[in-house]
Amino acid sequence: MKALAIDLGGSHATCALVEDRTILASRTVSTDGTAGLTPVLPLLAESLKALLAGAPGSNAAPAGLAFSFCGLVDCVRHRIAGTNAKYDDGPGLDLVAWCRATLNLPLKMDNDARMALLGEWYAGAARGYDDVIMITLGTGIGGAAMMQGRLLRGKHSQAGCLGGHMPVDFNGRTCTCGAVGCAEAEASTVALPGICRSHPGFASSALAAEASITFEKLFHHAGQGDQVAREICDRSLRVWGTALVALVHAYDPELIVVGGGIMKSADRILPFLQSYVDRHAWTPWGKVKVCNAELGNNAALLGAIPLLEGTADL
């Protein structure tokens, strides 16, 4: 099968032409500074048409457009159900009609974390597993769950995809979602600068000299022996481990796939998470395997084929 795919994130969108487990071609569209999703749609249409015009591979027409969105998605009507301070006009847009008018193709859409899990299940680290959770550690923290080969979505499209909003500290920070102590508020890239600056020893830390604070820099300074960096690093690892244990108890997986930009430090993160889950998750049947995602930024795009085929639908 051939398909068009869009993976829309907070600052850019990737458009791709996919055939089976291969991305034939892709283009990136910046969405920085745009007022909502409406002005982005013509840019997406232009990129998709350009991909079709130069289509490599077989001459088969695409079966449809798979749209991965960084928010809540109504997977029955294929509409945006909720956003978090980005693309706030999205719930009012009829993207199915837009796609039909622009490309003469059907459209299916889902949350970006579910799409990434679909991609890893179809073509990456989760091949051969049907009971899987995925968590993405990046600007925010995303999550998705698959049980017995079926994506978990729920009546209100929220089931399984709010892994970053598992509470890990009831005395913690207020999250953008309105809850307190979510994993995303306690250990995500967007929260990290505030977390570091609130540490009482920040002024004497090497982190204070950084123009921007990322987890890559945090792990570097921790490795160099910076005490503040080590404390924040250790706490972040425990936050992620706590969130994973909660997800294991909620969804009964055999495999946890961990992806996202923070996993550039996978050599530090994965051994800790595997050990933490081994020690703290109650799984009398055996141990849950924790592994690194394989597909990187291509995961949601490669989820296009199983989404359009409906092979993981409930």
Q: Could you read off the pLDDT of 102-112 as tens digits, one per residue? A: 999 999 999 99
Measure Cα distances from 254 to 77, 148, 153, 251, 289 in Å: 31, 10, 19, 10, 6
Of 4, 6, 9, 3, the residue nearest 260 (C-alpha):
9
**Domain around 178:** 127-293
Q: What is the pLDDT of residues 120-176, one digit of tens each?
A: 999 999 999 999 999 999 888 989 999 999 999 988 888 888 889 999 999 999 998
Q: What is the predicted pLDDT for the residue at 314?
A: 64
Other CB atoms within a 10 A radius of the CB of residue 40 amount to 19
> Is 84's pLDDT higher than 80?
no
Q: Are residues 171 and 273 in the same domain?
A: yes
Tell me what pLDDT residue 19 has.
Answer: 94
Tell me, yes or no, whether 304 and 265 share the same domain.
no
Buried b (16+ CB within 10 A) or exposed e, 148-168: eeebbbeeebbbbbbbbbbbb
What token pair was written down for 273? 């998470």
Instruction: Provide the pLDDT for residue 61.
Output: 87
| Residues 156 and 111 grouped into a single domain | no
Residue 86's pLDDT is what? 82
- Sequence-distant (≥ 6) Cβ neighbours of residue 209 within 8 angstroms: none
Task: Based on the fold, state whether residues 36 and 104 are members of the same structural domain.
Answer: yes
User: Domain check: are 171 and 279 in the same one?
Assistant: yes
Residue 314 included in any domain: no
Res 35: pLDDT: 82
Establish if 224 belongs to a structural domain.
yes
Cα angle 202, 195, 114; round to 5: 150
Six token digits for residue 303: 């989820």
The reply to whether 201 and 267 lie within a common domain is: yes
Same domain, residue pair 193 and 103: no
| 104 and 146 fall within a common domain | no
Q: What is the count of structural domains for the chain?
A: 2
Is residue 11 located within the same domain as residue 76?
yes
Residues 61, 154 within the same domain: no
Return the pLDDT at 159. 87
189-201 pLDDT, tens per residue?
999 999 999 999 9
Check residue 162 and give its pLDDT: 84
pLDDT digits (tens, 9 = 90+) for 6-61: 999 888 899 999 999 999 999 999 988 788 999 999 999 999 999 999 876 667 78
100 belongs to a structural domain: yes
Give the model's pLDDT for residue 267.
Answer: 94
With bands split at pLDDT 50, 70 and 90, how would you rate the model's confidence at 293?
very high
Q: Are residues 34 and 154 in the same domain?
A: no
* Residue 101: per-residue pLDDT: 97
> Is residue 43 assigned to a domain?
yes
User: Is 261 a residue whose pLDDT tops 80?
Assistant: yes
Residues 64 and 147 in one domain: no
DSSP string, the chain: -EEEEEEE-SSEEEEEEEETTEEEEEEEEE-TT-SSSGGGHHHHHHHHHHHHHT--S--PPP--EEEEESSEEETTTTEEEE-SSSSTTGGG--HHHHHHHHHS--EEEEEHHHHHHHHHHHHSTTTT-SSEEEEEESSSEEEEEEETTEE---TTS-TTS-GGGSBS-TTSPBPTTS-BSBHHHHSSTTTHHHHHHTSTTGGGSGGGG-SS--HHHHHHHHHTT-HHHHHHHHHHHHHHHHHHHHHHHHH--SEEEEESGGGGGHHHHHHHHHHHHHHH---TT---EEEE-SSGGGHHHHTHHHHHHTTT--
Label residue 238 by pLDDT band (50, 70, 90): very high
CATH number at residue 112: 3.30.420.40
pLDDT tens by residue, 276-291: 999 999 999 999 999 9
